[in-house]
Structure 1
Amino acid sequence: MNKTAIAVYGREFNQSVIGYVLELFTYLRNKEVEVYIYHDFHAFLKNNYNLDFEFQKFKTHLDLPSNIAFMLSLGGDGTMLSAATVIKDSGIPIAGINFGRLGFLANISKTNIQEALDQIFANEYQIQKRALLQVETNDNTFEDGPTYALNDITVFRSDSSAMITVHAVLNNELLNSYWADGLIIATPTGSTAYSLSCGGPIIMPGSGNFVITPISPHNLNVRPIVVNEHMKLHLEIESRTEKYILSCDSKSYILSTKTSLIISKAPFETNLIRLANDQYFNILREKLLWGIDVRNY
């Protein structure tokens, strides 16, 4: 009988959480689970901790066998975002163990690892599909094809002196020429992240929308706008420095203003594992302190 196989993705962490990592790997070994671990994370563990666990290694989802049951992301929400880009369109479900702070995506507590994994291995969970964005360029800047983002795609000015102008054409119709520090295009997943801090609305996952949110616009009448997920958005950027920054979740690129962007919905979705107590509005109330008198918090 073949062993259950899972993938583990992680990034560097501080000494305070090594006990939880050891607890996880001990649990998996006792369950006789075959573990495939992301190669950079494997190198970090090998160089910094004396772990006597046997792991297979992988660099991309193409290195993983077809019987991978799910992926565990060890870290905060940023680690979850990176994990989603690693598995791409493989459909592998992701569960996040939160070693960070906020944990909208990675919402399994590090103090509740064994109980949560018992539920997952017993198939006592639901799959929540999350839309992604993809970005392409007019000059094929990305040699491997489109770049994807589960949270948001953002363009920023490349220095601290002058605003940029972002000419946004939505479905072949001019939306606006944004004179601002930047522009965020966020998924429902990303609507509770950077977009929210810039005044954007919260969009419930599965609603079929994205939100375009300006960053510190010169004209205060320019507000966030919710658009249909089937949109195609063309962006051209003007800047005094003739360059700008493109951010796709945790990845950033410095691009020439000669490079324009085409942003649309990705042709695949990310599958998030959600346990019985992982209710969307419960998470919002907890993380955003709804209903709590913050004066006494």
Structure 2
Amino acid sequence: MKIAIHGRNFPEAARPYIQSMFDELGKRQVEVVLSHIYREFLDGAGVTHNSEATYQTDQGIADADFIFSLGGDGTLLDAVTHVGPQQTPIVGINIGRLGFLATVAPSSIRLMIDALFNGQFSIDERTLVSVRSNQDIFGNLPFGLNDFTITRTQTSSMITVHAYLDGEFLNSYWADGLIISTPSGSTGYSLSCGGPVLLPQTNNFIITPISPHNLNVRPMIVMDTCQLAFEVESRSGNFLAALDSRSFTVDVSTRISVQKEGFKARLVKLSDDNFLNTLRSKLNWGWDIRN
């Protein structure tokens, strides 16, 4: 078995679990390849990993059986870009905070490795959003798991986003910006702007305005089989376009289209991993100090 591993810095309390993970993989003679960024961090942190093989994050990894993401949801979003159309199954180990996507607790790493070897897991396929433009904004990584956003720059006033749905004019949003969210991203930026929570397998996108000038403009759910297109007006002559954690300043002459990507992200789920349980625990649903 070959496992790629990508991660970020971790709190000292997580060190024993991470060391234990590498010890267990070594005991099972797993071929491990580290992202070059994580390799540098581990060497500096004094974690023993016995792996000389690395991969460049901008080139990705093509031949691994699994990729482990050690961090929060942001780290897992990075891992999605590392595997891309290869659709390598991603194991999200939560060394971050909320962890809607990265759901394996550090204390469960050994149990997770057992589950992988014994085939006691399922694959949760998640829709990706694909962004195309006449300026090639995102290079060879024009896809994201959570959302695509158009926002004003820090120095600009409100922008106007003209939105089209399958070639038909939808609306002109006077706002700080607009979020196009997948079901996976419904618990992220879109949720904080008043968007609904969607179950992961829902075949929809959410269009969520950010601080709209017209208060009767609300989030809208559309089928993910449609194509969205956008034109932006801004006094500054530019705006920010972001795809998950990657953002760029873009000229208003840029035309952008958004649709469902042709491949998906494949997340490894263990038997006790349930989205509704995650919602209740992460959002404190039903929690009352009186109970």
Task: Give the TM-score taking structure 1 as reference length.
Answer: 0.93
Check conservation: 2:130, 2:260, Cα contact below 8 A. Answer: yes
1:80 aligns with 2:76: yes
CA distance in 2, matches of 1:195, 1:181: 13
Check conservation: 1:60, 1:87, Cα contact below 8 A. Answer: no
Check conservation: 2:62, 2:86, Cα contact below 8 A. Answer: no
1:41 aligns with 2:23: no
1:135 aligns with 2:120: no
1:278 aligns with 2:281: no
Where does residue 260 of structure 2 map in the other structure?
265
What letter matches 1:38 in structure 2? S
Where does residue 100 of structure 2 map in the other structure?
104
Where does residue 25 of structure 2 map in the other structure?
28
What letter matches 2:267 in structure 1? L
Where does residue 212 of structure 1 map in the other structure?
207
Check conservation: 1:7, 1:36, Cα contact below 8 A. Answer: yes
Query: Structure 2 regions of 5+ residues with no counterpart?
Result: none
CA distance in 2, matches of 1:26, 1:42: 16
- Which 10-residue stretch deviates more, 95-104 or 5-14? 5-14
Indicate which of 104, 122, 126 corresponds to 2:122.
126
Where does residue 236 of structure 2 map in the other structure?
241
CA distance in 1, matches of 2:252, 2:34: 39
Check conservation: 1:61, 1:88, Cα contact below 8 A. Answer: no
Query: Structure 1 regions of 5+ residues with no counterpart?
Result: none
Check conservation: 2:174, 2:212, Cα contact below 8 A. Answer: yes
Where does residue 7 of structure 2 map in the other structure?
10
1:180 aligns with 2:175: yes
CA distance in 1, matches of 2:243, 2:62: 27
Aligned length: 291
**RMSD, aligned α-carbons:** 1.8
1:227 aligns with 2:216: no
CA distance in 1, matches of 2:40, 2:154: 35
1:71 aligns with 2:58: no
What does the per-residue CA deviation read over 1:83-141, in whole Å, with 9 as the maximum and x for residues that have no partner? Answer: 01111010210011100111111010012211122112211011010000011112334
C-alpha deviation, 1:161, in angstroms: 4.9
Check conservation: 1:10, 1:79, Cα contact below 8 A. Answer: yes
Indicate which of 147, 150, 155 corresponds to 1:152.
147
C-alpha deviation, 1:143, in angstroms: 4.0
Check conservation: 1:166, 1:236, Cα contact below 8 A. Answer: yes
Check conservation: 2:156, 2:236, Cα contact below 8 A. Answer: no
Relative distance call for 1:207 and 1:235 in structure 2 (3 A) is: same
1:115 aligns with 2:111: yes
What does the per-residue CA deviation read over 1:137-196, in whole Å, with 9 as the maximum and x for residues that have no partner? Answer: 12334443x511100001110025511111111100111100001100000000011101
Check conservation: 2:9, 2:41, Cα contact below 8 A. Answer: yes
- Between the two proteins, what is the percent identity of the paired residues? 43
Task: Give the TM-score taking structure 2 as reference length.
Answer: 0.95
What letter matches 1:69 in structure 2? D
Check conservation: 2:60, 2:83, Cα contact below 8 A. Answer: no
